[in-house]
Amino acid sequence: MPPARFVTDASLEFLARRLIFLGYDVAVVRGARLEELFEAARAGDRTVLTMSRRRPRAFADVAAITVARDDPAAALRALAAAHEPAGPPFSRCAECDAPLQRRHPMEARGEVPGRVLRGARALSYCATCGKWYWAGTHVARLRAWLEQALGRPVG
């Protein structure tokens, strides 16, 4: 099964970011109307994640999944069980969804706190938006939430 590629709007951004942390390719189009989401899905060969049960007739050929917003953990569990991620956990940028690159900490000099540079062996970098990532306490909290939601360890 090929890796899943999703597109959604800001209404499901919490779920989208958790999927991205798991390695899924999820484009978030903020401010998009439903028709614009379906157009983006068609153009990018993606599946629409939406809370709407409405489906524009012109987009009958575009795959869509209706997601309940009230239980993001259950939605995440269902999507992860049915679809393959594009990469390993924490391998995509949470801001722009681009794949991250491993970089030497000294390349981040002046852009991340010194304590991070002193303790890190490698950092992750998004060449698209310029954001740096490292395994801080926030990663441990995210990993715990993801593992609880999935009911299994996250690699």
Same domain, 78 and 105: no
Please indicate, yes or no, whether residues 72 and 112 belong to a single structural domain of this protein.
no
pLDDT given at position 55: 87
Task: Evaluate whether residue 105 is within a structural domain.
Answer: yes
Torsion sign, CA atoms 134, 136, 140, 141: negative
57 and 114 fall within a common domain: no
> CA 146 to CA 39: how far, in whole Å?
30
Per-residue pLDDT of the chain (155 residues), as tens digits, is 679 999 999 999 999 999 999 999 999 999 999 999 999 999 999 999 999 988 898 999 999 999 987 899 999 999 999 999 999 999 999 999 999 999 999 999 999 999 999 888 889 999 999 999 998 888 999 999 999 999 999 97
pLDDT at 2 (0 to 100): 78
Q: Are residues 124 and 56 in the same domain?
A: no
Confidence (pLDDT) at 136: 84
78 with 24, same domain: the answer is: yes
Q: Does a structural domain hold residue 10?
A: yes
Domain that holds residue 141: 101-150
Domain assignment present for 89: no
Instruction: Please report the sign of the dihedral spanned by the C-alpha atoms of residue 48, residue 45, residue 96, residue 17.
Output: positive
Residue 51 neighbours by CB distance under 10 Å: 16
- Count how many residues are written for the chain: 155
> How many domains does the chain contain in total?
2
Report the pLDDT value the prediction gives residue 68, as an integer from 0 to 100. 87
- The answer to whether the predicted template modeling score (pTM) of the entire model surpasses 0.85 is yes
Instruction: Give a yes or no: residue 124 inside a domain.
Output: yes
Identify the domain boundary among 29, 55, 82.
Answer: 82
pLDDT at 126: 97
- At 130 the pLDDT is 96
